[in-house]
């Protein structure tokens, strides 16, 4: 018999074999480890004997332990993915997680910075050329923090038509985003003081190592505080880029393509958060 713990290790190996992002593997691994430990405490280690009620009971306990509905929903998704793998692998015949329901919760509307706020953020970081360039790229391209952390120097094209190339990866759609004057100038100023290193990463530490996502998030959170901006996170710079261009009348299809959204409907959701009406057919990106 293959135990749940054995299956858990096989699942992790499966994710690694599919080149899933390390953060994704870590999140799934922790969620399933928590599930397996809880079931083990009840002497339930045979995956073929588990029921939907067993899994639902685990989720109910999480709710009593004050886990948020959003966290439980994520763990529910991890559990569904895990048991789908077990069935596909032939370890189980019936999938008890298929009938598992997600808890209901309301998604908070995206935090969209006002013009006054994003100008204050720029001013707060202006003397830090590296972080200023990062903030400018977020505001002028709408890329994700994971995409920015993976940028290489070669991904920035400084020519007649400056652009930023996003390589294909999990969660990232390959695309080329035009860079306006503020963005390209901010990157140029940063490259003049960038640490001399053979590392190809665009943004590096003082010792020449790639700047990690957590480093980027911590630094920008600091400048949010210095600028007096409350309740904002790094991803809100992306929300701001999308919302402001929609409000300016930029083509919905163009924004969706440059944002790397797989579905236009994802971009359309932002329409409810902006004031005014967009102008059809406008395809140029205005500077923030």
Which string of b and e fits 57-87 if b means at least 16 CB within 10 Å? Answer: ebbeebeeeebeeeebbbbbbbbbebbebbb
Residue 280 in this model has a pLDDT that exceeds 80: no
Contact residues for 92 (Cβ-Cβ < 8 A; gap 6+): 47, 48, 83, 86
Sheet containing 175-178, strands listed edge to edge, beginning at the edge strand earlier in sequence: 156-157, 163-166, 175-178
Reported pTM: 0.68
Burial label, 137 (beta-carbon count in 10 A; 0-12, 13-18, 19+): buried
Rg (Cα) of the chain, in Å, rounded? Answer: 22
DSSP letter string, 111-173? ----HHHHHHHHHHHTT-HHHHHHHHHHHHH---HHHHHT-BGGGEE-SSS-EEEEPPBTTB-
Counting every residue written for the chain, the total comes to 288
State the pLDDT at residue 285.
46
State whether residue 174 is helix, strand or coil.
coil
d(CA 116, CA 127): 19
State the pLDDT at residue 287.
53
The percentage of residues in the chain with a pLDDT greater than 70, rounded to a whole number, is 94
pLDDT tens string 48-95: 999 999 999 999 999 999 898 889 999 999 999 999 999 999 999 999
Question: What are 152's strand-pairing partners?
Answer: 201
pLDDT tens string 159-177: 888 999 999 876 678 999 9
Q: Are 219 and 131 in contact (CB under 8 A)?
A: yes
pLDDT tens string 189-241: 999 999 888 899 999 999 999 999 999 999 999 999 999 999 999 999 999 99
Task: Tell me the domains of the chain and their CATH numbers.
Answer: 4-88 (1.10.150.130), 115-273 (1.10.443.10)
From residue 248, give the alpha-carbon distance in Å to each of 46, 50, 229, 283, 286: 57, 54, 23, 10, 8
The percentage of residues in the chain with a pLDDT greater than 90, rounded to a whole number, is 75
Structure letter (DSSP) for residue 43: T
């Amino acid at each position: 018999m293959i135990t749940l713990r054995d299956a858990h290790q096989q699942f992790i190996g499966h994710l690694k074999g599919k080149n899933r992002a390390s953060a994704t593997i870590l999140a799934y691994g922790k969620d399933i480890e928590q599930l397996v430990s809880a079931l083990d405490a009840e002497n339930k280690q045979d995956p073929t004997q588990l029921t939907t009620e067993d899994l639902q009971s685990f989720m109910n306990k999480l709710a009593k332990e004050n886990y948020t509905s959003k966290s439980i929903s994520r763990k529910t998704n991890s559990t569904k993915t895990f048991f789908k793998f077990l069935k596909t692998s032939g370890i189980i015949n019936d999938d008890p997680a298929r009938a598992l329901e997600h808890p209901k919760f309301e998604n908070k509307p995206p935090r969209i910075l006002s013009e006054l706020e994003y100008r204050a953020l720029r001013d707060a970081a202006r003397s830090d050329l590296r972080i200023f360039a990062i903030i400018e790229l977020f505001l002028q391209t709408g890329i994700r923090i994971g995409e920015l952390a993976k940028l290489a120097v070669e991904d920035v094209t400084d020519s007649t038509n400056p652009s930023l190339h996003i390589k294909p990866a999990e969660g990232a759609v390959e695309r080329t985003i035009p860079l306006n004057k503020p963005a390209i100038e901010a990157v140029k100023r940063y490259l003049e003081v960038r640490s001399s290193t053979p590392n190809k990463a665009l943004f590096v530490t003082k010792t020449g190592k790639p700047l990690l996502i957590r480093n980027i998030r911590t630094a920008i959170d600091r400048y949010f505080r210095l600028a007096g901006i409350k309740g904002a996170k790094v991803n809100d710079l992306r929300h701001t880029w999308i919302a402001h261009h929609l409000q300016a009348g930029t083509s919905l299809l163009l924004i969706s393509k440059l944002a790397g959204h797989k579905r236009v409907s994802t971009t359309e959701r932002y329409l409810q958060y902006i004031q005014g009406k967009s102008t059809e057919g406008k395809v140029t990106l205005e500077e923030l």
